[in-house]
């Protein structure tokens, strides 16, 4: 596979990130600089840049002159990622309620939810990301926004591996999103935040179930 010689570092980074998140590159697998250069027909610089970006995302570790290793994990790592997203999403709900037009937020949430309801596998995770992202787009806190993007990548990688695209999980998630939207629209922000925490508590139970 040859990549166009436009933004090679970014293109390679996006491709490797996609392969890791979608489990085509396994947890703990080594990324060898020389092999990546040969596979994609690029020099060492784009490879090093791409791996550095993956490191900032938390997707690789143990960077050396020869490459890096995709992260390994245990239950504690999984729970910490889930806890970070719980805290971030809860804060974004509360901040958006006082810093943005609630009607506009609700309109965008409903649009994202409708897409999620009809989404197929590859679109589903993107729609899940976009539903929560609405709160971050309106919370007016760039640190929340940056950290949400980073931790959701890790969450999606883990969810694809352990939750999968099971219909019951999908229906539960959509129902929870609907409840959050309804509470937010009604102006009961405390309940919406509580439901957001319950949403991620459900994800935690699934992680514990599949990892046990």
Domain end point (choices 70, 87, 103): 70
Same domain, 33 and 128: no
Q: Would 98 be classed as within a structural domain?
A: yes
pLDDT score of 165: 61
Same domain, 102 and 55: no
- Please give the full DSSP string across 8-51, using - where no structure is assigned: HHHHHHHHHHHHHHTTSS-TT-EEEHHHHHHHHT--HHHHHHHH
Residue with tokens 């539960």: 172
pLDDT score of 109: 98
Q: Would 59 be classed as within a structural domain?
A: yes
Same domain, 173 and 206: yes
Same domain, 87 and 47: no
Q: Give the rounded distance of the alpha carbon of 114 from its chain centre.
A: 19
Domain with 14 in it: what CATH number?
Answer: 1.10.10.10
Q: Would 150 be classed as within a structural domain?
A: yes
Same domain, 152 and 102: yes
160, exposed or middle or buried, with CB in 10 Å at 0-12, 13-18, 19+?
middle
Same domain, 110 and 143: yes
Q: Would 19 be classed as within a structural domain?
A: yes
pTM of this structure:
0.89
Same domain, 88 and 183: yes
pLDDT score of 2: 54
Q: In the chain, how many domains are there?
A: 2
Domain with 193 in it: what CATH number?
Answer: 1.20.120.530
Same domain, 39 and 139: no
pLDDT score of 211: 84
Same domain, 56 and 82: no
Q: Give the rounded distance of the alpha carbon of 3 from its chain centre.
A: 25
Tell me the residue range of the domain where 64 lies. Answer: 8-70
Domain end point (choices 17, 39, 70): 70
Residue 210 phi/psi, 5° resolution?
-75, -30
Per-residue pLDDT of the chain (212 residues; tens, 9 = 90+): 555 545 889 999 999 999 999 889 999 999 999 999 999 999 999 999 999 999 999 999 999 999 999 999 899 999 999 999 999 999 999 999 999 999 999 999 999 999 999 998 778 889 999 999 999 999 999 999 999 999 999 999 998 888 666 788 889 999 999 999 999 999 999 999 999 999 999 999 999 988 87
Strand partners, 32: 67
């Amino acid at each position: 596979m040859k990549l166009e010689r436009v933004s090679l570092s970014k293109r390679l980074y996006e491709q490797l990130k996609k392969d890791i998140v979608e489990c085509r590159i396994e947890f703990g697998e080594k990324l060898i600089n020389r092999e990546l250069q040969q596979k994609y027909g690029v020099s060492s610089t784009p490879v090093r840049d791409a791996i550095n970006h993956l490191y900032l995302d938390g997707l690789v570790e143990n960077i050396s002159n020869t490459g890096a290793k995709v992260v390994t994990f245990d239950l504690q790592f999984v729970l910490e990622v889930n806890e970070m997203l719980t805290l971030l999403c809860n804060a974004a709900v509360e901040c958006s309620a006082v810093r943005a037009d609630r009607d506009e937020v609700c309109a965008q949430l409903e649009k994202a939810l409708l897409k999620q309801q009809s989404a197929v596998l590859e679109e589903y995770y993107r729609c899940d990301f976009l539903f929560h992202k609405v709160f971050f787009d309106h919370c007016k806190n760039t640190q929340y926004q940056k950290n949400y993007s980073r931790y959701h990548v890790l969450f999606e990688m883990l969810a694809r591996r352990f939750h999968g695209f099971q219909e019951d999980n999908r229906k539960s998630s959509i129902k929870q999103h609907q409840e959050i939207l309804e509470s937010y629209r009604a102006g009961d922000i405390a309940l919406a935040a509580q439901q957001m925490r319950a949403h991620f508590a459900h994800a935690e139970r699934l992680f514990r179930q599949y990892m046990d």
